[in-house]
Chains A and B, each alone.
Chain A
Amino acid sequence: MMLSRREFIRRSVLYALTLAGGSALAACNSPTPTPIPPTLAPTVPPSPTRVPPTATLASTATIAPTTAPPPSTIAQGAPTATMTATPVPPTAFDPYLAVARGANPGAITRAAIDALGGMKRFVKPGNDVILKPNICNASYTPEYATTTNPQVLAELVKMCLEAGAKRVRVMDQPFAGTAVEAYKKSGIREAVEKVGGQMEIMAAMKYADADFPKTARDLKKWKVYQDILKADVVINVPIAKTHDIAKLTLAMKGLMGVITDPPAFHNALDQRIADLNTLIKPTLNVIDAVRTLAVNGPTGGSLDFVVKTNLVMASHDPVALDAYATKVLFLKKPEEIAYIKYGAEMGIGRIDVDKVRIKEVTM
Chain B
Amino acid sequence: MNSNRWRRARQITQIISTAFFFLLAFLTYRGFESALPLDLYFRLDPLAAFGAMLAARLVIAAMLLALAAIAFGFVFGRAWCGWLCPLGALLDWISPRAWRVAQAHKNWKSVKYVLLFVIFFAALLGNLSLMILDPITLLNRTFSSAFFPALNVVVVSTEIALYPIAPPLHPFFDLIEQNWRGTILPAQQTFYQLGWVLALVFVGVVALNWAAPRFWCRYLCPLGAVYALQAKISWLRPRAVKDCSHCAACMRVCPTSAIAVTKDGFSVDPAECVVCMDCLPACPESVIAFQFGGRRSAVGGQRSDVDLTRRHLIGSALASIGAVALFRTAPSASRDDPWLIRPPGARENNFLAKCIRCAECVKVCPTGVLQPSLFEAGLEGFWSPILTTRLGYCDYSCNACGQVCPTGAIPPLTLEQKRQSIIGTAYIDENRCIPWASYRPCVVCEEMCPVPDKAIKLEPVDLISPDGKKVHVQRPRVVTDMCIGCGICEYKCPLSATAAIRVYAPMQLPPIG
A-to-B contact residues, CB < 8 Å: 25, 27-29, 34, 36-37, 137-140, 175-182, 184-185, 200-201, 203-206, 208, 243-245, 263-264, 266-269, 296, 298-302, 305
Contact = CB atoms under 8 A, between A and B. Distances in A.
B156 to A, nearest CB: 5
A266 B182 CA distance: 27
Interface string B432-471: 0010000011111011111111100010000000000000
A257 B150 CA distance: 27
B43 interface: no
A299 B30 CA distance: 21
B160 A137 contact: no
Interface residues of B, number: 49
Interface string B152-195: 01101101110110000000011001100111000111000000
Contact of A206 (B163, B393, B444): B163
A25 B182 contact: no
A178 B188 CA distance: 8
A205 B160 contact: yes
Which of A138, A205, A301 has most chain B Cβ within 10 Å? Answer: A205
A180 B397 contact: no
B493 interface: yes
Given A34-B164, A138-B395, A180-B31, A267 B452 contact: no
B366 interface: yes
A326 B87 CA distance: 62
A250 B494 CA distance: 22
Contact of A176 (B157, B446, B488): B488
A335 B366 CA distance: 40
Contact of A296 (B182, B366, B443, B452): B452
Nearest to B31: A181
Interface of B is mostly: loop
B398 interface: yes
Contact of A263 (B178, B187, B451, B494): B494
Given A208-B164, A305-B452, A28 B157 contact: yes
Nearest to A199: B178
Contacts of A268: 440
A178 B182 contact: yes
B395 A204 contact: no
Contact of B452 (A25, A204, A300): A300
A137 B159 contact: no
Contact of A205 (B156, B182, B366, B449): B156
15 contacts: A27-B157, A137-B397, A176-B448, A177-B397, A178-B30, A179-B187, A181-B397, A206-B163, A244-B447, A244-B474, A245-B442, A264-B494, A266-B444, A267-B434, A299-B448
Interface of B: 30-31, 150, 153-154, 156-157, 159-161, 163-164, 173-174, 177-178, 181-183, 187-189, 366, 393, 395-398, 434, 440-444, 446-454, 458, 474, 488, 492-494
Contact of A299 (B188, B366, B449): B449
Contacts of B453: 296, 302
Given A181-B31, A266-B441, A268-B440, 5 more contacts: A29-B153, A138-B395, A178-B187, A243-B447, A302-B452
A250 to B, nearest CB: 15
Contacts of A175: 448, 492
A206 B188 CA distance: 14
B366 A245 contact: no
A180 B393 contact: no
Contacts of B443: 244-245, 266
B397 A245 contact: no
A138 B448 contact: no
Nearest to B494: A263
B164 A176 contact: no
A29 B177 CA distance: 20
Contacts of A178: 30-31, 182, 187-188, 366
Contacts of A296: 452-454
Nearest to A303: B452
Contact of A139 (B174, B434, B440, B450): B450
A84 B493 CA distance: 34
B447 A298 contact: yes
A267 B178 contact: no
Contact of A181 (B182, B442, B450): B182
